[in-house]
């Protein structure tokens, strides 16, 4: 609200300022489920499941995996309510470029042969079959 | 006055564009609605939010604290903000029995004077702060169920759906005023300033009108937000 008072032209966006934090207590996935188009929501869900899978592989004696197991269960609960098939989410993307040899499993960027890692996500590429 | 506005108008446009720019940190999620009311997600970086006066933005952040039955994991450094993945070495573990001091300081939750949790908003800081306190006061065997319930509650999209349905009513007049202010500044004002037949344009009355709309928006946004928060106090 301070920016609206200091910069009167910002009053045009006052609605954004007022409601910006109303869903702050919710998981981005739950907000995405309601607000995003289905395809965008599926992309968000797919990425989140990927992050959870990556986090679960790390070992820490203090119960690191306990949190990620609970988080995964919670996301799976959301998945069940939205009637999205998990196997559908895990499917590799369709090849968009004929010359592409591999793609990033996270951002789906395609790479020609000779590349092993995604330059944006820093993870190993998945070769096309 | 026409000359003053012809000089001022480009600066007004620049200020508006600045207001439309937003920086989204990594692990933050900014949901922005466009002209048609559909939302898009902005994950990280500098972005232009929708320029429409009808646009809405919602900010959310992935849990900044990882809860376990024996303690919590807090991100230690900027390293976590740079990595897209969660790596255990970017977090520090604080057992519940080692939590001596605990304060909610605006947007931040401070633990043991040195460790900070930076949630996306004051609302979430309060929410997360009270939950950590609850876990600390609970028996160790009760904590797992409480964490599960906390995570499930954060994923309860039914509450958001109800909110979205009730959203338009309390903000209807405010929204109309925002559109009117937008039209006055970016359609009527340039016509008055740059069009040839602007001799009929009464600038003092126009400025007075804009000031009135602006003050009404300020007052209405205050009252609407109080009413809306009271009526829809979800998980405060």
Q: Where are the domains of chain A?
A: 2-91, 93-129
Structure tokens at B232: 């829809």
Vertex B162: Cα angle to B106 and A11 (nearest 5):
50
- What is the DSSP-derived secondary structure letter of residue B184? I
Residues A78, B155 contacting (CB under 8 angstroms): yes
Asked if A86 and A114 touch (Cβ cutoff 8 Å), the reply is: no
CA distance B112 to chain A (A): 19
Using the Cβ of A80 and the Cβ atoms of chain B, whether some distance falls under 8 Å is answered with: no
Which phi and psi (to 5°) does residue A90 adopt? -85, -5
Q: Do A21 and B38 touch (CB under 8 A)?
A: no
Q: How many A/B residue pairs have CB atoms within 8 Å?
A: 211
Q: How many CB atoms lie within 10 A of CB B27?
A: 20
**What's the predicted TM-score (pTM) here?**
0.84
Q: How many CA atoms lie within 13 A of B193 on its CB side?
A: 18
Q: Is the pLDDT of residue B231 over 60?
A: no
Q: What is the pLDDT of residue B198?
A: 61
Q: Find residues 31-60 of chain A whose CB sits inside 8 Å of chain B.
A: 31-37, 40, 44, 51, 54-55, 58-60
pLDDT, tens digit, for every residue of B37-48? 788 888 778 888
Cα radius of gyration rounded to whole Å, chain B: 23
Instruction: Quote the DSSP letter at residue B77.
Output: S
Best B5, B38, B51, B58 member to test A by mutation, with max A CBs in 10 Å, is B58
- How confident is the model at residue B36, as a pLDDT? 66
Helix A28-35 and helix A64-82, axial crossing angle in degrees, nearest 10:
10
Which range has highest mean pLDDT (A20-34, B78-92, B157-171)? A20-34
Distance from CA of A38 to the nearest CA of B (A): 11
Mean pLDDT of A51-70: 84
Q: What are the sequence ranges of the domains in chain B?
A: 1-62, 66-155, 166-228
CA distances from B13 to B21, B80, B110, B178, B185 (A): 13, 37, 40, 16, 9
Q: Do A111 and A102 touch, CB atoms closer than 8 A?
A: yes
Q: What is the pLDDT of residue B147?
A: 92
Mean pLDDT within B172-185: 88
Q: Name the DSSP letter for residue A117.
A: B
A93–chain B nearest CA distance, Å: 20
Chain B positions in Cβ-Cβ contact with residue A72 (cut-off 8 Å): none
Distance CA B225, CA B216 (A): 14
For the residues B145-166, what does the mean pLDDT come to?
A: 85
Q: Do A32 and B66 touch (CB under 8 A)?
A: no
Q: d(Cα B2, Cα B52) in Å, to the nearest integer?
A: 26
Question: B214: which chain A residues are within 8 Å (Cβ-Cβ)?
Answer: 8, 11
- Give pLDDT, residue B4: 84
Query: Sign (positive/negative) of CA torsion A116, A118, A122, A124?
Result: negative
Which pLDDT belongs to residue B84?
Answer: 72
* pLDDT above 60: residue B234: no
Q: How confident is the model at residue B24 (pLDDT cuts 50, 70, 90)?
A: confident
Q: Mutation test of the interface with chain A: which of B30, B84, B127, B189, choosing the one with the most A Cβ atoms within 10 A? A: B84
CB B233 within 8 A of CB B162: no
Residues of B in contact with A31 (CB under 8 A): 29, 31, 58, 60, 157, 160
Q: Which residue of A16, A50, A64, A117 to mutate against B (max B Cβ within 10 Å)?
A: A16
Q: Whole-angstrom Cα distance, residue A36 to residue A52?
A: 21
């Amino acid at each position: 609200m301070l920016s609206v008072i200091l910069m009167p032209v910002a009053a045009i966006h006052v609605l954004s300022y007022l409601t910006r934090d109303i869903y702050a207590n919710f998981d981005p996935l739950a907000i995405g489920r309601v607000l995003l188009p289905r395809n965008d929501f599926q992309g968000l869900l797919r990425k989140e499941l990927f992050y959870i899978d990556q986090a679960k592989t790390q070992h820490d004696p203090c119960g690191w995996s306990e949190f990620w197991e609970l988080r995964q269960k919670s996301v799976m609960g959301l998945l069940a309510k939205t009637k999205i098939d998990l196997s559908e989410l895990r499917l590799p993307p369709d090849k968009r470029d004929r010359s592409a040899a591999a793609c990033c499993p996270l951002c789906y960027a395609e790479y020609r042969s000779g590349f092993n890692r995604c330059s944006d996500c820093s993870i190993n590429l998945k070769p096309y079959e | 006055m026409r000359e003053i506005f012809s000089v001022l108008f480009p600066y007004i446009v620049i200020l508006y564009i600045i207001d439309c720019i937003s920086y989204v940190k990594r692990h933050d999620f900014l949901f922005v609605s466009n002209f048609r009311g559909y939302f898009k997600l902005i994950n990280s970086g500098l972005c232009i939010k929708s320029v429409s006066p009808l646009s809405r933005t919602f900010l959310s952040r992935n849990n900044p604290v990882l809860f376990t039955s024996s303690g919590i994991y807090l991100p230690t450094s900027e390293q976590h903000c740079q990595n897209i993945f969660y790596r255990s070495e970017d977090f520090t573990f604080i057992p519940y029995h080692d939590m001596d001091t605990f304060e909610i300081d605006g947007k931040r939750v401070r633990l043991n004077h040195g460790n900070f949790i930076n949630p996306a908003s004051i609302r979430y800081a309060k929410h997360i702060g009270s939950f950590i306190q609850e876990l600390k006061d609970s028996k160790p065997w009760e904590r797992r169920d409480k964490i599960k319930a906390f995570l499930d509650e954060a994923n309860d999209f039914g509450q958001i759906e109800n909110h979205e349905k009730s959203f338009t009513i309390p903000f209807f007049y405010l929204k109309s005023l925002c559109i009117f202010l937008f039209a006055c500044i970016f359609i009527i004002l340039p016509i008055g300033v740059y069009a040839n037949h602007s001799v009929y344009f009464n600038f003092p009355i126009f400025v007075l009108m804009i000031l009135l709309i602006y003050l009404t928006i300020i007052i209405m946004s205050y009252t609407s937000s109080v009413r809306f928060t009271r009526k829809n106090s979800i998980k405060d």
